[in-house]
Amino acid sequence: MGYVAVAGGEEAITNAEALVAFYRLKGGSTPVQVRQIREQMRLAVDKVMSEGSLYAPGIAALALKQAEGDGIEASFIVRAYRATQPRRYVSLPVDTRQMRVIRRISGAFQDVPGGQVLGPTRDYTQRLVDFALLGETPELAAGFFKKIGVQTSRSALPDTFPKVIDLLRREGLMAEPGDRDRALSDITREAISFPCNRSAKLQSLARGETGVMMALAYSSMRGFGDIHPYLGELRVGTVPLFINHRAKKHPVYLGPVLVTEAEIISGQYEDDQGIPKLTLGYGLCFGHNELKAIAMGVLDRTMQSQAPQRAPAEDEEFVLYHIDGIESSGFSAHWKLPHYVTFQSTLDRLRRTQKLKEEADTLGREPEPETPGL
Amino acid sequence: MGTNLESNFDQVFTSQQIYRLLLDAMARPGKIVTLARLEIDPPEGLSWSIAGLAFTLLDQETTFAALPDHESWGHYLCLNTGSRQAAVSEAEFIIIDGRVDLPELLVVNRGDLLFPDRGATLMVMVSSVGGDGADNRLTLQGPGIPGQVSLTLGGLCPGNLERVQTLNREFPLGVDLMISDNRGALVCIPRSSAITAEVNG
Amino acid sequence: MGVNQNRKHRGYNFAFLDENTKREIRRKLLKAVAIPGYQVPFASPELPIARGWGTGGLQITMAIIGPGDVLKVIDQGCDGSVNAVNIRKLLVKTTGVATTFDTNAASIIQTRHRIPEEAMRQDQILVLQVPIPEPLRYVEASEAKTREMHGEMDYSRMWVYLYENIVQYGEITIGARYPSLVNRRYLIDPSPIPRWDVPKLNQAETLYLFGAGREKRIYAVPPHTLAEPLEFEDFRFRVEDFTGRSCIRCGATDTYMNEMYDSSSGRKLFVCSDSGYCDRRREQSVTQNLACAEPTGHPLGRVPPKAEALVAPIQERSRSYPTASKEAGALEQVVIEGKEAR
């Protein structure tokens, strides 16, 4: 009897775990240190924190190591860990005007107050394989630091930058958020329902999977929808996090959090008074992840669409139910589980309908069921 | 008395035991289950069994109201569960002394057709659940009940029962009852049960 | 995965979930029972098991289970299936409860895709894992719209769907996940149990709890409650047909069976899907020679097993299940923390 899929479940699982570890290490090189991942795979760590919905670079780096670099798997590990953590405090609202930026650009204006700050970006480098990295050594890295040391100067950057959209707002060009936008929910404590308030939407987007958000946002930019986005401002930098503590008079400073923020400005829309205004789509995510922040801003804007015929990216249910990487990966993978009971049921129906068809054909006519009584 | 933080209630295991009895009772309306005596010290008028139910289900994510409004009950339950007090029309849980005539009951939230589960849960104190000397004899019919079941309750104000019947007239809208006496006898009447009342004397 | 095997390390709570999460599930379960068949939304935090792999059922089990429970976990009816083993391991590690493969001995059974063959009692609870809780997904993709349809009890599009099925194929083609009306009010997806199991929901002794983790919904069919598969007067609901089939292991002819192909002969074989029931029948037939297990009788009144079927050649399926006692023994090294993480 060859069918053994149901046999020896426990042993098989234990062996599978051992094999996973074996494949991770079988090359024989020095085991990767979590600190190396955290520092040198910075953008992967940031993505895992954002999709795992927990700001914990060490845990995210460890999860990446454990998952052999599989971003969704690492995010899942982080997310599951997050679900077990007690939630003692809620942070005070963060004003991103206070951000200490490492990068800040606007696509909508040639120059903006505070100036464009290119910061660390690959946008204008040629994507050539850098063979020089093959021979990278600690000495070479130290030499690099000596060279770059003279070029960076903290004092050259102001502490904070004014916001581009504040300028537009002052001119009365921006639509103000409505009252429904002010309701606060917590999607980790209450399942989302529709129509969905903006805070639940933004929370879902903030923990969404970068790839699928980019694809949905791209569909809208490309033509499935009527959104013509401008990048009002993109910022990367740290914001200070505070909490109120019972025993303390003043808010307590917890530390800095690195975030990416995108403000997407999009075309005309009439506000409550019928005055044409610009609208804002907002994107904010943990870590340095520009594509995700931009996609989030675009999707926040597309979901505000009033169009009677909604494109996929404009349908809030379509977007919010399908962007979570943990949920979509889990369900996509679950087809690996045995389904033979349900398949048996499907076969039963198929054989029955085939038989009915054959019988009907022998009688030389199509099956004509009597009208079923409702 | 009754204003203290209770340290004798095991959040993990006692609440699990109470919950399983509660689930059984809710799944089988009219079935009387008995809660094990709790060593807690609720304020005057609030029974230990109702306090035990509250400890099991209430926390900082829920709201409650007490009827009639007893300041000491509110304080005690806030302190021990983290739950917040809300208006009777909005609270998710209503802690009730069923022996007092309570016209306010009629404003309790029954949920809506999209979210009937938002209808409130009533935790009702009575003099006795089951037993012969009771002054209320009810017949229940509906899911969880093979045929029909009789239930006797002592000390439930008839007006309150009528109000519950009014609240539960339009299933799936309605409220769900957990009724308990001071000996720990507990019975549940979900909104899916049709109640026929027969008041003695 | 470090599920609290070391006391020095910060442990997980009893039954893994923190008490806040349990309380929310408990509150929602009570509402689900009070409004039979209605899908109650719940927060459904992530578990260390993937979405779509039983997290809804797991959360319900974790919210109701206590140290005195006896747990059975099955997948496709089988206790030894890898997924069942994995889920059982997590529950045992974090609760220390006793486990069993015997339906009669269990107080809580968590299952995927099957309801055990043996009739369950009122002191037992069946927890079903649900992938898609919404029966109306067949006809409507939007959650906002299906919620409205349930609110208004507007199931006309489902009826039309079944009608069109009959017009096209001469028969309703839904295999598992057969839509059923609970308490004459709410249409449910009974989870992907075969049609064979659907009648067991109706007027049962047992409480059935359904958990959909990824979709964040909980619903229930209380005992002694009407649960009726949709059918037309002239096109009746029908369970799967196993006429003339018998299990190669225990000879049963009145159970839901899996068909498979023998790898050497290519011959098609049938075997009981409920492994616990099948094992028990085999044990009994060995000890009592020809006697077979007390036929519990399918709710639709199928024929009891025939004695001669038992003398048919019985082939051993390669199984090496972990035994219940072995698992319980392993628990002694596991720390069960009974305090809420604060």
Whether residue A128 lies within 8 A of chain C, CB to CB, comes out as no
d(CA B169, CA C71): 39
Whether residue A310 lies within 8 A of chain C, CB to CB, comes out as no
Best interface-test mutation with B: which of C202, C224, C225 has the largest number of B CBs within 10 A? C224
- A 10 A CB-CB count for C157 gives 14
Whether residue B12 lies within 8 A of chain C, CB to CB, comes out as yes
Helix (H) or strand (E) holding A213: helix A210-222
Whether residue A159 lies within 8 A of chain C, CB to CB, comes out as no
CA distance B70 to chain C (A): 24
Structural tokens at position A79: 């997310």
pLDDT at C318 over 80: no
- Is there a contact between B190 and C223 if contact means CB atoms under 8 Å apart? no
The CATH 3.40.50.11310 portion of chain C extends over: 2-135+178-229
Q: How much is the pLDDT for A372? A: 54
- Is there a contact between A9 and C80 if contact means CB atoms under 8 Å apart? yes
Helix (H, G, I), strand (E, B) or coil at B54: helix
The structural domains of chain A, with segments of one domain joined by +, span: 15-83, 96-119+155-330, 347-374
Structural tokens at position C105: 């001995």
Q: How much is the pLDDT for C336? A: 39
Whether residue B62 lies within 8 A of chain C, CB to CB, comes out as yes
By CB atoms closer than 10 A (0-12, 13-18, 19+), residue C331 is: middle
- Is there a contact between A341 and C18 if contact means CB atoms under 8 Å apart? no
Question: How far is CA C276 from each of CA B86, C103, C281, C321, rounded to the nearest angstrom?
Answer: 51, 7, 9, 11
Nearest CA in chain A to C21: A189
pLDDT-derived band at A373 (thresholds 50, 70, 90) equals: low
Nearest CA in chain B to C223: B144
Query: What does the pLDDT look like over C156-188, one tens digit per residue?
Result: 999 999 999 999 888 899 999 999 999 999 999
CA angle A194, A196, A197 (to 5 degrees): 155
HSE at residue A17, side-chain half, CA atoms within 13 A, is 8
B residues 72..111 contacting C (CB < 8 A): none
Query: What does the pLDDT look like over A215-224, one tens digit per residue?
Result: 999 999 998 9
Q: Chain-wide mean pLDDT for chain C? A: 83
Whether residue B7 lies within 8 A of chain C, CB to CB, comes out as no
Report the catalytic residues of C.
Answer: 37, 247, 250, 272, 278
- Is there a contact between C18 and A86 if contact means CB atoms under 8 Å apart? yes
Q: Which residue has the tokens 């989030």?
A: A296
Please, which chains are in contact with A (at least 3 CB pairs closer than 8 A)? C
Q: What phi and psi, each to the nearest 5 degrees, are found at residue C239?
A: -80, 170
d(CA C49, CA C68): 24
- The CATH code of the domain that includes B51 is 3.40.50.11310
Closest CA to B172 of B193, B151, B188, B187: B193
Whether residue B60 contacts residue B35, with contact meaning beta carbons closer than 8 Å, is answered with no
Q: Which residues contact C79 (CB under 8 A, 6 or more apart)?
A: C72, C73, C101, C275, C276, C321
- Is there a contact between A7 and C317 if contact means CB atoms under 8 Å apart? yes
Best interface-test mutation with B: which of C4, C31, C69 has the largest number of B CBs within 10 A? C31
Q: What number of C-beta contacts closer than 8 Å exist between B and C?
A: 111
Q: How much is the pLDDT for C337? A: 40
Whether residue C103 contacts residue C276, with contact meaning beta carbons closer than 8 Å, is answered with yes
Q: Of the candidates B12, B60, B119, which has its C-beta nearest C340's C-beta?
A: B12
d(CA C72, CA C109): 5
Find the Cα–Cα–Cα–Cα dihedral C243, C248, C249, C255, rounded to 10°.
-10
Q: Give the bridge partners for C71, in sequence order.
A: C99, C108
Q: Is the ipTM of this complex over 0.90?
A: yes
Structural tokens at position A208: 């969404």
C residues 67..106 contacting B (CB < 8 A): 67
Structural tokens at position B19: 């919950």
- Is there a contact between C66 and B20 if contact means CB atoms under 8 Å apart? yes
Whether residue B150 contacts residue B137, with contact meaning beta carbons closer than 8 Å, is answered with yes
First to last CA, chain B: 37
> What CATH class has C2-135+178-229?
alpha beta
Find the Cα–Cα–Cα–Cα dihedral B22, B25, B31, B35, rounded to 10°.
-10
pLDDT-derived band at C8 (thresholds 50, 70, 90) equals: very low
**Given the DSSP bridges, would you call strands A229-243 and A100-105 parallel, antiparallel or unpaired?**
antiparallel
In order, the DSSP letters of A348-361 are HHHHHHHHHHHHHH
Q: How much is the pLDDT for A53? A: 96
Which pLDDT tens digits describe chain B residue by residue (201 residues)? Answer: 446 889 889 999 999 999 999 999 999 999 999 999 999 999 999 999 999 999 999 999 999 999 998 899 999 999 999 999 999 999 999 999 999 999 999 999 999 999 999 999 999 999 999 987 778 899 999 999 999 999 999 999 999 999 999 999 999 999 999 999 999 999 999 999 999 987 554
Whether residue C213 contacts residue C53, with contact meaning beta carbons closer than 8 Å, is answered with no
- Is residue B124 one of the residues assigned to a domain? yes
d(CA A372, CA A368): 11
Whether residue A363 lies within 8 A of chain C, CB to CB, comes out as no
Whether residue A167 contacts residue A97, with contact meaning beta carbons closer than 8 Å, is answered with no
Whether residue C164 lies within 8 A of chain A, CB to CB, comes out as no
| Number of domains comprising chain B | 1
DSSP state of C275: H
